[in-house]
Amino acid sequence: NGGLLHLALVVLKLQLPSSLNESKYLVSLIFRLQSKILSLLVKFCETEPVSFLDEVAADARSMRLAEIVAREVLSLVRVALREDHRKIQGSSENSSPTGLLFIHAMRLADIFSDDSNFRNL
């Protein structure tokens, strides 16, 4: 029914209010939460006996939701590939909480690129 995809979308769109952006702890917490939900999606896509993405594609509403999630993932990959992403998030090289987030986003983008239902994104 798209429950996991809806959860993923909500977590990926989480943003702190500007008054709390100075808290490195909260910013890191959000990045870790986003990384964890992408990790769950990767696991579902890789380990289900019946393809998770085929099940999603069977329902039009779930497929639309999956396309939105895929676009969010692709935007994370774009940020990861930009040279100045550390300047944008304001973190130093040694304390960047986005490493796993970007790795999971790239793994998920790879999975989406291999699936025929997502090739038109």
Q: Are 38 and 104 in contact (CB under 8 A)?
A: yes
Helix (H, G, I), strand (E, B) or coil at 48: coil
pLDDT in tens, 30-72: 999 999 999 999 998 888 677 888 888 888 899 999 999 999 9
* Exposure string over 45-70, b if 16+ CB within 10 A, otherwise e: beeeeeebbeebbeeeebbebbbbbb
Q: pLDDT, tens digit, for every residue of 90-99?
A: 554 445 678 8
Which residues neighbour 113 within 8 Å (Cβ) at sequence distance 6 or greater?
119
pLDDT tens, 38-49?
Answer: 999 999 888 867
SS3 2: coil
Per DSSP, the three-state class of 90 is coil
Task: Measure the CA–CA gap between 119 and 121, rounded to whole angstroms.
Answer: 6
Residue type, 44: F
